[in-house]
Amino acid sequence: MLVPATPVQLSHLSTWLAPITGLAGDRRTAGLLLGTVAGILGSGSLVCRQIAAFSPSAGSGAPWRPTDSAHADR
């Protein structure tokens, strides 16, 4: 589930991108650039969250074990 950016996050993002959005020419293009970057960062954090959900080092300390019998020790 993609969580929308909070106003504080967008404020930090717009401050970070200010040198670039100043080159955009108008507010619509600057807003499009800000929305595009926010979407890219948001989707990246979603992917990282999904990867971390299956990472043994990010878990609760439980040891890793295979999910199917093809990879189990015999």
Report CA 17 to chain centroid distance, whole Å.
Answer: 17
What gap in Å lies between CA 10 and CA 4, rounded to an integer?
10
User: Among candidates 37, 49, 34, which has minimal Cα distance to 1?
Assistant: 49
The answer on pLDDT for 17 being more than 60 is: yes
The domain ranges of the chain are 1-54
Find the radius of gyration of the CA atoms of the chain. Answer: 20
pLDDT tens track for 18-51: 888 888 889 899 888 888 888 887 777 777 777 7
pLDDT at 28: 92
State the amino acid at position 73 in one-letter form. D
Q: Full-prediction pTM beyond 0.75? A: no
Percentage, residues of the chain above pLDDT 70: 66
What gap in Å lies between CA 36 and CA 27, rounded to an integer?
14
